[in-house]
């Protein structure tokens, strides 16, 4: 900027981003890692992350006091980047109000950068610096879009909201040796059905006693299922761990579009607008459920180049997930295979189901393949979708899945 140093101490309004940023910083300092290594409280990564946050706040305060507006702008850009890291940190993933706090911090950063651009222009020309205006406006626009999207989504029924994370907040410190951990994606989340009609909630009602923790996040896969189990509080050990495998959990062939969607979904944990765009871009690539099913079916085409490498990657993910699941449950973990909701008389992935079952059994899972039950009782899966142009289960299908899982759990000998 032409005038980096402001005349006298700049306005206190420039400190507003730090006031908002102080909330997650203090939360991080008060949190405790599951595997504390430093000062009996933090892991090495978490300690470094906390140290970075504290130094960033102190540096911004010093730059404000010295009136170094251009450097203060740089510090606020680092704050914006740091907000994108918070949701990826396991200790901070449950920060109360995370979805609202991060866009709010970025909004205030955008305002402060714009204000700094004007304050630094107090010279003969009196024109604000164009780079500062551009950066501040860009950050402010994205952040306001995030906040507006959060507001709009809050008005929609919960089963139709396009946001990341668990649908129901659980106190995972309460997990005990009689409970069930049900892990999966949008099927466990309950896309398109009320909370009470999800397979996990139906299962809990059928078990009549143990609590079922539905750890489902939309748009996730086996790597994420393993992360969810690893992030449980230290010592949390249920009776059973149930993995709900839907057929799109197979690693897909690489493409530029898929990489772009996955990247936006990753950043979408902190930027709701990016998550929204990623979800709709994914829908654009497969505009209807039939196109989506053709895509999923193609993932299991053994003649496709790279298939064996993708299958080996899947095998590694299943093995890792089995190892983690065994540490989180007293009984053998259960691997439930959910079929595509199509005409079961001409179901296209019978061989894939058999190979998946063998793979999971070899990794140490008990396998519950629901294709035979769906084929026997439902004939045409289209009638059991939430709506015709959607691949998710309706309430009746969720209830039958819950019943089959219940039978599998209760058929086991007492540990």
What is the reported pTM?
A: 0.69
**pLDDT tens, position by position, 110-129:** 999 999 988 877 555 556 67
What span, in angstroms and rounded, lies between the C-alpha atoms of 60 and 74? Answer: 9
The whole-chain average pLDDT of the chain stands at 86
Among the ranges given (283-287, 304-308, 406-410), the one the predictor scored with the smallest mean pLDDT = 283-287
Report pLDDT for 349. Answer: 97
**What contacts 24+ positions apart, CB below 8 Å, involve 26-29?**
27/92, 27/95, 28/53, 28/89, 28/91, 28/92, 29/54
Parse the chain into domains and list their residue ranges.
12-155, 172-410
- Residues β-bridged to residue 244: 336
Helix, strand, or coil here: 183? strand
Decide if pLDDT at 89 tops 60: no
Three state DSSP letters for 101-142: HHHHHHHHHHHHHHHHHHHCCCCCCCCCCHHHHHHHHHHHHH
**pLDDT tens, position by position, 347-375:** 999 999 999 999 999 999 999 999 999 99
| Architecture category of domain 172-410 in CATH | 3-Layer(aba) Sandwich (3.40)
User: Which strands form 212-216's sheet, in the order they lie side by side?
Assistant: 212-216, 180-184, 240-246, 334-338, 366-369
Give Cβ neighbours of residue 109 (< 8 Å, ≥ 6 apart). Answer: 17, 76, 77, 79, 80, 139, 143
Give percent of the chain with pLDDT exceeding 90.
56
Report pLDDT for 330. Answer: 94
């Amino acid at each position: 900027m032409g005038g980096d140093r402001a005349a006298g101490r700049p306005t206190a309004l420039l400190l507003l981003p730090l006031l908002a940023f102080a909330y997650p910083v203090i939360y991080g300092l008060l949190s405790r890692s599951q595997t504390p290594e430093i000062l009996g409280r933090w892991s090495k990564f978490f300690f470094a992350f906390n140290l970075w946050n504290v130094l960033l706040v102190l540096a911004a305060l010093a730059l404000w006091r010295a009136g170094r507006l251009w450097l203060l702008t740089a510090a606020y850009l680092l704050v914006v980047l740091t907000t994108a890291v918070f949701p990826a940190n396991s200790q901070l993933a449950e920060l109360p109000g995370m979805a609202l706090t991060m866009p709010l911090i970025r909004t205030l950063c955008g305002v402060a950068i714009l204000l700094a651009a004007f304050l630094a222009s107090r010279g003969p020309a009196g024109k604000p610096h164009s780079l500062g205006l551009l950066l501040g406006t860009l950050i402010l626009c994205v952040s306001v879009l995030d906040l507006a999207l959060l507001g709009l989504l809050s008005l929609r029924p919960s089963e139709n909201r396009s946001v990341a994370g668990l649908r129901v907040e659980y106190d995972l410190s309460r997990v005990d040796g009689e409970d069930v951990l049900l892990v999966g994606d949008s099927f466990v989340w309950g896309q398109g059905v009320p909370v009470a009609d999800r397979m996990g909630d139906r299962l809990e009602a059928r078990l009549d006693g143990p609590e079922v923790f539905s750890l489902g996040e939309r748009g996730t896969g086996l790597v994420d299922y393993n992360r969810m189990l690893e992030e449980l509080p230290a010592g949390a050990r249920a009776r059973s761990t149930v993995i709900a495998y839907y057929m799109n959990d197979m690693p897909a062939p690489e493409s530029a579009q898929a990489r772009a969607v996955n990247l936006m979904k990753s950043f979408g944990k902190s930027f709701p607008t990016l998550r929204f765009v990623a979800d709709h871009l994914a829908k654009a690539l497969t505009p209807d459920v039939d196109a989506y099913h053709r895509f999923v079916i193609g993932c299991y085409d053994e003649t496709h180049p790279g298939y064996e490498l993708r299958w080996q990657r899947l095998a590694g993910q299943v093995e890792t997930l089995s190892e983690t699941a065994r540490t989180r449950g007293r009984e053998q973990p259960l691997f439930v295979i959910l079929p595509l909701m199509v005409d079961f008389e001409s179901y296209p992935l019978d061989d894939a189901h058999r190979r998946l079952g063998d793979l999971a059994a070899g990794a140490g899972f008990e396998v519950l393949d629901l294709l035979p039950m769906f084929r026997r009782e439902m004939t045409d899966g289209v009638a059991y979708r939430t709506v015709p142009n959607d691949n998710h289960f309706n309430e009746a299908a969720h209830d039958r899945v819950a019943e089959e899982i219940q039978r599998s759990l209760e058929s086991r000998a007492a540990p």
